[in-house]
Structure 1
């Protein structure tokens, strides 16, 4: 490591770093695709990050985009920046859960004696003659999108296809030969877009799939966590049964659209 001196050296560094941008940023070419145009923000000093975000080209406010953060304290900063850049904002705030083994590694203060028991938190067994464990295929994207609260359009379906192609997923195939329950990982590493078709609900399939997906991610070394709406008591009960730990912070998402 060596200190950079003078504006010319800084410009050379910026040029070099831009050549190494991750592919996720290079894909942000569709101005209407807020699923791909996603930013994750964390700041040790949320109030002071206003200047950095406001005076740089970090965020392209000309696009439809979303900002995700575990810090609800960014609300004032994001609202102010959006207003300054003539963008309207819709905020979504949800509960955040972390699976026990992940919490033991990353947030050990959350773990109690009860949640650290070896065989605790396992779901009920499913009927393996009727239901078969499998992986999602891109042909299943439309089905997943149909039951995703944030989906329902061509771009969300395209985003789901990319997630299926790129990241681990889990599903249970029913007697008809199609997925009846599923969970997959998005670009943030979170377990999202889970769902079960109405015909097969209340049979423990969602719990089973979420458990298997979480176990698979932890085996690969990924942190396993998920979010749910504060009004979704069914998923909250399921997380409690699986001994997922509620994280003190919230899951926050700001959807921004230029006026």
Structure 2
């Protein structure tokens, strides 16, 4: 097992790009790290340079780790090697407090349940999601935006962290606040404001480059704001050379239709999931 550093991370990004769309989450993390976005994770592989498994895990040297929800993610081209890394090489610290393994291939669920159970660690499927992506900007269907609405489109700032945290399904606590503060400070965001300059609808980009936290205040729904935000953010990400994708929870049919109608596509043979351990 090897921890990757600067030049190696850049090489790994190129390798993972060849495995899209299933590698989107780890590719997105590497895309940000290689462009100097802050991270609390370190990257390990089974072997180098011909790796089959790459795992992102909390960096024990990073002081911000205790302030954020502990998260792990990985991409595996060989389940046998993945099993070995999880059971014999301590690639994941199973003894830590509650943590998530996010964006994993749901076909690996039996393996994760088996490994965690043998270590006496409880587990549950936190959420099951669709992976939707936009391989080319020509696929994007752009809604019409009048000049009045266009003038109200801007980015979120740190004064909006509390509002986003209170309305985020997985937020509402200090860890959520710190996560959103980091995202607004360091990653793209887009919002539509009211006449007083306060956000009424917004979308953020996670540290793994996926679009998320799309939300419109209830009293402002039905005006097409979400379509405008998704298309605006997608165009911006494409222009900056970033991957354009998102994870949509399986029961969120409204968001699923929204992204599909805007031109996003899906590999129907693939499902991703978030698993929680030591909860």
Which residue of 101, 121, 142 maps to 1:87? 121
Counting only pairs closer than 5 Å after superposition, residues 5-44 of structure 1 correspond to structure 2 as: 23-25=39-41, 26=59, 27=62, 30=65, 33-34=68-69, 37-44=70-77
Query: 1:93 touches 1:251 (CA, 8 Å); kept in 2?
Result: yes
What is the alpha-carbon root mean square deviation over aligned residues? Answer: 2.8
Q: Alignment partner for residue 214 of structure 1, among 217, 234, 241?
A: 234
Which residue does the alignment assign to 2:89?
56
Distance 1:64 1:85, change over 3 A: same
Q: Once superposed, which parts of structure 1, at least 4 consecutive aligned residues long, lie more than 4 Å away?
A: 20-23, 28-32
Give the equivalent residue in structure 1 for 2:174: 154
1:67 to 2:101 alignment: yes
In structure 2, how many angstroms separate the alpha carbons of the residues matched to 1:145 and 1:186?
14
* Cα distance in 1 for residues equivalent to 2:209 and 2:223: 27
Q: In the alignment, is the contact (CA less than 8 A) between 1:32 and 1:64 conserved in 2?
A: no
Q: Aligned match of 2:247 in 212, 222, 227?
A: 227
Match of 1:101 in 2: 136
- Matches of 2:151 and 2:221, distance apart in 1: 13
SS of equivalent residue, structure 2 residue 75 = coil
Q: Which runs of 5 or more residues in structure 1 are unaligned?
A: 1-9, 103-115
Output the TM-score relative to the length of structure 1.
Answer: 0.78
1:4 maps to none
| 2:110 maps to 1:76 | yes
Partner residue, 1:6:
none
**CA 1:192–1:31 in structure 2 vs 1: closer, same or farther (change >3 Å)?**
same
Between 21-30 and 71-80, report the one with greater CA deviation: 21-30
**What is the total number of aligned residue pairs between the two structures?**
228
CA distance in 2, matches of 1:147, 1:251: 24
Structure 1 residue 81: Cα displacement: 2.2
The structure in which a higher percent of residues are strand is 2
Shift in CA distance, 123/129, structure 1 to aligned 2, threshold 3 Å: closer
Correspondence for 2:261: 241
Provide the rounded CA distance (Å) in 2 between the counterparts of 1:86 and 1:50. Answer: 17
Shift of 1:208: 0.5
Using the TM superposition, name which of 138-147 and 202-211 deviates more: 138-147
Q: How big is the shift at 1:206?
A: 0.8
User: Is the 8 Å Cα contact of residues 133 and 266 (structure 2) preserved in structure 1?
Assistant: yes
Residue 30 (structure 1) shift:
4.8
- Aligned partners of 2:117, 2:91: CA distance in 1, in Å? 16
Are 1:38 and 1:66, in contact at CA under 8 Å, matched by a contact in 2?
yes
Q: Which has the larger radius of gyration?
A: 1
Alpha-carbon distance in 2 for matches of 1:32, 1:162: 11
> How far apart in 1 are the matches of 2:226 and 2:76?
34
